[in-house]
Chain A
Amino acid sequence: GAVVSQHPSWVICKSGTSVKIECRSLDFQATTMFWYRQFPKQSLMLMATSNEGSKATYEQGVEKDKFLINHASLTLSTLTVTSAHPEDSSFYICSEGASGSDTQYFGPGTRLTVL
């Protein structure tokens, strides 16, 4: 399967600051990447679909101005949490869609803690 990396794996920031999370496809050119958020003991919640070279498609209820997604190349998508607040503390996971199937390969996740 595809290999996806995320950086950083864990970040702590102060309320009001912005945090950027990188998602890289290491062995595959991913036209489409997905960003999820997962709260403790809950399933994954899709935040947005990121397409290379175009604007991301956000799920209902996800603020596009707060969660900025950039997919400038086939191997890199970034999620920036702007003006982070404690309620944004969560586990953020990206994935890439596998060509020719509907499955997705996930990154290791980034744990964000906002103080």
Chain B
Amino acid sequence: QKEVEQDPGPLSVPEGAIVSLNCTYSNSAFQYFMWYRQYSRKGPELLMYTYSSGNKEDGRFTAQVDKSSKYISLFIRDSQPSDSATYLCAMSGGSGGSNYKLTFGKGTLLTVNP
């Protein structure tokens, strides 16, 4: 079993739809959870960052972490064509230092159709 599982999609939705992206993981030591957005041929861009369980909202984006189920989600409300990208979940089990490795999911390719 891989440490982080993410459905690669592709996922295609109409503009305005609510998008749900998910990752599951097996390592209970993970404490920091991130979602990155990566446009084609660009570096990943940090979207959301969450420590431990709970919800975090930023505009149209909501990140949820359920450590008891080892399950994280990213919700995108009122999706726009500009949201079309690959979304990568990432997590780490460090103590807040800057030198801990991230474990990535494979990424989900999202297309929002106008």
Contact = CB atoms under 8 A, between A and B. Distances in A.
B interface, by DSSP: helix, strand, loop or mixed?
loop
B42 A101 contact: no
A102 B42 contact: no
A62 B104 CA distance: 18
Nearest to B105: A43
B43 A104 contact: no
Size range of the interface on A? 20 to 34
Contacts of A103: 32, 34, 46, 49, 102
Interface string B91-114: 010101111111011110000000
A1 B94 contact: no
Contacts of B46: 1, 103-106
Interface in B50-98: 51, 88, 92, 94, 96-98
15 contacts: A1-B46, A6-B43, A34-B101, A43-B106, A49-B101, A95-B43, A97-B97, A97-B100, A101-B49, A102-B97, A102-B100, A103-B34, A104-B46, A106-B44, A106-B46
Given A43-B105, A97-B99, 10 more contacts: A4-B43, A43-B88, A93-B44, A95-B43, A97-B98, A102-B96, A102-B102, A106-B44, A108-B42, A109-B41
